[in-house]
């Protein structure tokens, strides 16, 4: 029964491309409030996905919003693609390519050596085009305004990192990491370690803590469930 949602529940959503995480939250909140006939309902997500990423978004409703902080601490798993030899200021396709680099010097052996170097605990500098707050202001706001942005490194851990370079310069990957890891920064650092450059051109989250994309539903399917379920 849909009234149980208001009391408190957690659902898994497969976020579509070009939607923000808040787009998903707002859409589901609107349909839930309408169906339940209430003016207020707490709805939140446990871990942001960039608009250009797809995949698992953990949505907490009602009293389950109190669980968000704990859920955000779980390990995340992603799949995606790096394009080696080109870079953008945002480290992904949010901005235009600004530099090109040689890739002829890159061998499968070098890629394997670099892959291994990412596994374990390390310091990572977040992208300047990120939601990190610098002096009370979102970093991306300052970056888009042309202001100088100095990002401080975060301590992260990557427990799994596999790559497939059979379609080089496109490199497919699967990666499991701790909270606070920016996959765009992994892409940028991957390119730099190859003495080249790289851009994240595709990203999908497949797991967050114990939650898996296999158990998720699309936004459309969740809306149909909300509208068709008995009160």
- 111: domain CATH number? 3.30.2350.10
Supply the pLDDT for residue 147.
72
- What is the pTM assigned to this prediction? 0.93
Supply the pLDDT for residue 142.
66
Q: Are residues 93 and 161 in the same domain?
A: yes
Cα separations in angstroms, 75 against 141, 154, 184, 208, 230: 28, 16, 17, 6, 35
Supply the pLDDT for residue 230.
84
**Tens digit of each residue's pLDDT, the chain (231 residues):** 787 887 899 999 999 999 999 999 999 999 999 999 999 999 999 999 999 999 999 999 999 999 999 999 999 999 999 999 999 999 999 999 999 999 999 999 999 999 999 999 999 998 877 677 766 677 767 667 767 777 889 999 999 999 999 999 999 999 999 999 999 999 999 999 999 999 999 999 999 999 999 999 999 999 999 999 888
Range of the domain at 123: 76-208
Burial class for 24, CB neighbours closer than 10 Å (0-12, 13-18, 19+): buried
Q: Are residues 181 and 102 in the same domain?
A: yes
Q: Are residues 36 and 129 in the same domain?
A: no
Q: Give the number of domains in the chain.
A: 2
Q: Are residues 215 and 189 in the same domain?
A: no
Q: Are residues 204 and 175 in the same domain?
A: yes
Helix (H, G, I), strand (E, B) or coil at 200: strand
Q: Are residues 25 and 133 in the same domain?
A: no
Residue 188 and residue 84: Cα distance in Å, rounded? Answer: 9
CB of 163 within 8 A of CB of 171?
yes
Q: Are residues 108 and 120 in the same domain?
A: yes
Q: Are residues 35 and 13 in the same domain?
A: yes
Supply the pLDDT for residue 140.
66
Q: Are residues 193 and 221 in the same domain?
A: no
Q: Are residues 114 and 85 in the same domain?
A: yes
Question: Mind telling me the catalytic residues?
Answer: 50
Supply the pLDDT for residue 219.
98
Supply the pLDDT for residue 107.
97
Q: Are residues 126 and 41 in the same domain?
A: no
DSSP 81-124: EEEETEE-TTSBTTS---EE---TT--HHHHHHHHHHTSEEEEE
Supply the pLDDT for residue 182.
95
Q: Are residues 177 and 163 in the same domain?
A: yes
């Amino acid at each position: 029964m849909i009234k149980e949602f208001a009391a408190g529940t957690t659902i898994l959503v497969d976020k579509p491309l070009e939607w923000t995480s808040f787009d998903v939250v707002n859409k589901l909140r609107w349909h839930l409030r309408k169906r339940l006939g209430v003016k207020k309902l707490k709805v939140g997500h446990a871990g942001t996905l960039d608009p250009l990423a797809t995949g698992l978004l953990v949505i907490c409703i009602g009293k389950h919003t109190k669980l968000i902080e704990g859920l955000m601490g779980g390990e995340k798993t992603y799949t995606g693609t790096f394009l080696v030899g080109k870079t953008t200021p945002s480290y992904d396709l949010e901005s235009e390519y600004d530099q090109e680099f040689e890739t002829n010097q890159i061998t499968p052996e070098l890629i394997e050596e670099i892959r291994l170097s990412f596994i374990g605990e390390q310091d990572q500098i977040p992208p300047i085009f990120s939601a990190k707050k610098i002096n009370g202001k979102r970093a991306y706001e300052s970056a888009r305004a042309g202001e100088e942005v100095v990002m401080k490194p975060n301590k992260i851990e990557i427990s799994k990192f596999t790559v497939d370079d059979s379609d080089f310069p496109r490199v497919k990957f699967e990666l499991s990491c701790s909270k606070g890891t920016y996959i765009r920064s992994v892409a940028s650092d991957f390119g730099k370690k190859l003495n080249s450059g790289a851009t994240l051109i595709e990203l999908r989250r497949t797991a967050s803590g114990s939650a898996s994309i296999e158990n998720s539903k699309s936004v459309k399917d969740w809306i149909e469930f909300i509208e068709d379920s008995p009160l």
